[in-house]
A and B are shown apart, each in its own frame.
Chain A
């Protein structure tokens, strides 16, 4: 029984109202108060960095002294935000140019692989799948040196073009995994019916499977968007601050000068996080879907 009745909602472990139950109920309500107190305590704990980010990003230079570190701004100013925008906007634009094609291409490839691996049973299919999966766990440090030589040797320009290729290729294992798990769950009859109608595999994939894959596409696109947007490792090795994504530009902004201007860095950190946070807020359900279906992945 997975549905929750209204009674259960109000009294999670409700029992018949006997005197003994009264006793336990009062104990539970004490327990409930403690539970909410804990939940709120943890919420505040998690939100500490958010408070700091927002408050500091609106402080003027003279306002950011240690003594007033945790205070609200004396005067709320947006100069940090405009400075951060000036410094980060080119890289923000480049990140969009990198992330959108990378997410779309790796999703389509992942969907094709997932369909084949879920529906086409051949000897060794499990081994092939495991070999693909292992690709998402490898530390990229273990391929980085030859990868640099390969990409440079092939004459692929550093920055956005290289990074699109890398995010597509190393995104394949996770996209394949999510789609395979999804296609394993669709009813066999659907695919069978199409085969009986005389459609081949490609046709079945195109006209039967793809149209019902939209929820999975949303999950995978969000997952790929977020991980490519937040990537720093490939950015460091395959781009520079002139042609790289926003994580690299933000790191240079925050760590470049001898004396960090925390107001500007924190406004920059918020700016760089807005796209993924917006996705999380608007499409949180699918974001969590990605986490769960890819629960083999970190």
Chain B
């Protein structure tokens, strides 16, 4: 018995604070949240425990999925995610490719492309709200004014005030902030490819483009997968940028995370919890296979 304690005691002592904290604050609270989402807490007296609460099963979920409002949020979330992913993958990949081979001032370019990541979404929201101002013609400022100045006035548009696709405009600042991160991932991927592979393909007489197309790019698919997962899961949680550029009440820019905040603000705890649980399921569908996959590849290596 003392030997067992000597063997198991110290590591357990080191790791148990974390296990307890995460057990309670992640898994415990997820369970409580699931329970709350199946109750009928829809006003402040119920939220404060002054009025009775009852169990309603999946009723909140059914009414959420049945409402036009929430369907619109889900549609917005999909559109935002697609634009955000496409933009960050495009810029991130192109920038990394441009910087793959030694380039003068490489450090400067890299630092500039990456720096928006160090800024908060709220701070960048301040400037992007100005840039994405929907005024046009005489009153235009921001990007609409810039389009006039460079002779492309037809590019002027409503940005995030467009009811159907306005959310896509909010993805622009998100792309601005996260493309550098994707670049850093791809750059590490490029640099991780052994120099011999490039040399071999040159000896075989492959052109520069053929070398990239057939030798380098295929090696980058694990990096691309990581980038899609990371950016994708960030986009599902989109909240800060929308709060700072638009308003929570704006129909055209609402997504589930915003709905959750609005429900909470009106003490509709059960619907807030249900929206949270729906987000969790969406993220889990994306993340769990990825974590299992990572676990396997680590074991192989």
Q: Which residue of A47, A66, A120, A272 is within 8 Å of B122 (Cβ)?
A: A272
Min CB gap A226→B, angstroms: 6
CA of A292 to CA of B138, assembled, Å: 47
Quick one: closest B residue to A49, CB to CB? B127
**Are A144 and B260 in contact (CB-based, < 8 A)?**
yes
The answer to the question of A145 belonging to the interface, with a C-beta cut-off of 8 Å to chain B, is yes
**Are B15 and A112 in contact (CB-based, < 8 A)?**
yes
Given A39-B109, A46-B112, A230-B120, A1 and B243 touching (CB < 8 A)?
no
The answer to the question of A200 belonging to the interface, with a C-beta cut-off of 8 Å to chain B, is yes
**Are A13 and B260 in contact (CB-based, < 8 A)?**
no
Min CB gap A7→B, angstroms: 11
Contact digits for B165-181, partner A, Cβ 8 Å, 1 yes 0 no: 00000000000100011
Q: Which residue of B25, B138, B260, B295 is within 8 Å of A169 (Cβ)?
A: B25
Contact digits for A125-150, partner B, Cβ 8 Å, 1 yes 0 no: 01010111111011111111111101
**Are B291 and A141 in contact (CB-based, < 8 A)?**
no
Given A38-B98, A170-B25, A298-B233, A277 and B11 touching (CB < 8 A)?
no
**Are B234 and A226 in contact (CB-based, < 8 A)?**
no
**Are B276 and A70 in contact (CB-based, < 8 A)?**
no
Chain B positions within 8 Å of A269 at CB level = 122-124, 126-127
Given A133-B291, A142-B280, A262-B130, A69 and B226 touching (CB < 8 A)?
no
**Are A146 and B36 in contact (CB-based, < 8 A)?**
yes
Q: Which residue of A36, A52, A138 is within 8 Å of B26 (Cβ)?
A: A138
Quick one: closest B residue to A143, CB to CB? B29
Interface residues on B, range: 35 or more
DSSP majority for the A interface? helix
Min CB gap A177→B, angstroms: 11
Min CB gap B208→A, angstroms: 7
Q: Which residue of B14, B264, B277 is within 8 Å of A142 (Cβ)?
A: B277
Contact digits for B106-131, partner A, Cβ 8 Å, 1 yes 0 no: 00010111111111111111111111
Quick one: closest B residue to A231, CB to CB? B120
**Are A268 and B115 in contact (CB-based, < 8 A)?**
no
Q: Which residue of B18, B121, B142 is within 8 Å of A132 (Cβ)?
A: B18
Which residues B242-301 have CB closer than 8 A to chain A?
243-244, 247, 256-257, 260-261, 264, 269, 272-273, 275-277, 279-280, 283, 287-288, 291-292, 294-295, 299
CA of A297 to CA of B185, assembled, Å: 11
Selected interface stretch from A72-80, A212-220, A279-287: A279-287
**Are B119 and A146 in contact (CB-based, < 8 A)?**
no
Chain A positions within 8 Å of B208 at CB level = 13, 28
Which residues A208-266 have CB closer than 8 A to chain B?
226, 229-233, 236-237, 247, 250-251, 254-255, 260, 262, 265-266
Chain B positions within 8 Å of A69 at CB level = 140-142, 145
Chain A positions within 8 Å of B29 at CB level = 143, 146-147, 150
Chain B positions within 8 Å of A233 at CB level = 239-240
**Are B113 and A70 in contact (CB-based, < 8 A)?**
no
**Are B226 and A142 in contact (CB-based, < 8 A)?**
no
**Are A116 and B14 in contact (CB-based, < 8 A)?**
yes
Interface residues on A, range: 35 or more
* Cross-chain pair count, CB within 8 angstroms: 262
CA of A236 to CA of B120, assembled, Å: 14
**Are B102 and A9 in contact (CB-based, < 8 A)?**
yes
**Are B123 and A250 in contact (CB-based, < 8 A)?**
yes
Given A35-B103, A277-B118, A52 and B130 touching (CB < 8 A)?
yes
**Are B17 and A109 in contact (CB-based, < 8 A)?**
yes
The answer to the question of A162 belonging to the interface, with a C-beta cut-off of 8 Å to chain B, is no
The answer to the question of A205 belonging to the interface, with a C-beta cut-off of 8 Å to chain B, is yes
Chain A positions within 8 Å of B99 at CB level = 39
The answer to the question of A159 belonging to the interface, with a C-beta cut-off of 8 Å to chain B, is no
Q: Which residue of B275, B276, B294 is within 8 Å of A296 (Cβ)?
A: B294
**Are B130 and A56 in contact (CB-based, < 8 A)?**
yes
Which residues A46-82 have CB closer than 8 A to chain B?
46-49, 52-53, 56, 66, 69-70
**Are A232 and B295 in contact (CB-based, < 8 A)?**
no
The answer to the question of B91 belonging to the interface, with a C-beta cut-off of 8 Å to chain A, is yes
Q: Which residue of B98, B117, B180, B261 is within 8 Å of A236 (Cβ)?
A: B261
**Are B275 and A141 in contact (CB-based, < 8 A)?**
yes
Chain B positions within 8 Å of A176 at CB level = 18
Min CB gap B299→A, angstroms: 8
List 8 tightest A-B contacts by C-beta distance, closest first: A230-B120, A142-B280, A201-B10, A141-B276, A142-B276, A146-B32, A143-B29, A280-B118
Hey, which bits of chain B sit against chain A, CB under 8 A?
A: 6, 10-11, 13-15, 17-19, 21-22, 25-27, 29-30, 32-33, 36, 91, 94-95, 98-99, 101-104, 109, 111-131, 135, 138-142, 145-146, 149, 176, 180-181, 184-185, 188, 191, 195-196, 202, 208, 226, 230-231, 233-234, 236-237, 239-240, 243-244, 247, 256-257, 260-261, 264, 269, 272-273, 275-277, 279-280, 283, 287-288, 291-292, 294-295, 299
Could you show 16 A-B contacts with beta carbons less than 8 Å apart? A13-B101, A39-B98, A42-B91, A46-B176, A49-B116, A66-B145, A69-B145, A116-B15, A130-B292, A142-B280, A150-B29, A237-B264, A247-B123, A277-B115, A292-B184, A298-B233
